Amino acid sequence: MPRIRRGEERNAWFRPVIGPDVFLCIMGSFPLIDIEQVLADKMPAGKKVPRWAVWLLKKIIHQDWMNQMLKHYEGGGGLEFADATMKYLRTTIEPFGIERLEDRKYIFVSNHPLGGQDGVSLGTVVGSRFGEVQFIVNELLYLLPPLRPLIVPIRMGGRMQSRENALAIEQLMESDRQVIMFPAGICSRFQLDRMAVQDYEWKKSFVAQAVKYHRDVVPVYFHGHNSFSFYALAWIRRHLRIKANIEMLFLVHEMYKNQGKTFRAYFGKPIPWQTLASVRDKRRWANELRDRIYREKQHLAEW
Structural domains in the chain plus CATH codes? 12-72 (no CATH), 79-301 (3.40.1130.10)
Length of the chain: 303
Contacts of 54 (CB under 8 A, 6+ apart): 35, 36, 39
pLDDT of residue 263: 95
pLDDT of residue 38: 72
Confidence of residue 30 (pLDDT cuts 50, 70, 90): low
The span from the first CA to the last CA of the chain, in angstroms, equals 55
pTM recorded for the entire structure: 0.81
Residue 28 binned pLDDT confidence (cut-offs 50, 70, 90): very low
What span, in angstroms and rounded, lies between the C-alpha atoms of 287 and 216?
Answer: 17
| Res. 87: pLDDT tops 70 | yes
Q: Who wins on pLDDT, 164 or 112?
A: 112
Q: What is the pLDDT of the chain when averaged over all its residues?
A: 82
Q: Please tell me which residue, 206 or 244, carries the higher pLDDT value.
A: 206
pLDDT at 239: 87
DSSP H helices, 136-204, are 163-174
* Least confident residue range of 11-20, 147-156, 206-215: 11-20
Query: For 180-228, how does the pLDDT look when each residue is reduced to its tens digit (9 = 90+)?
Result: 999 998 889 988 888 889 999 999 999 999 999 999 999 999 999 999 9
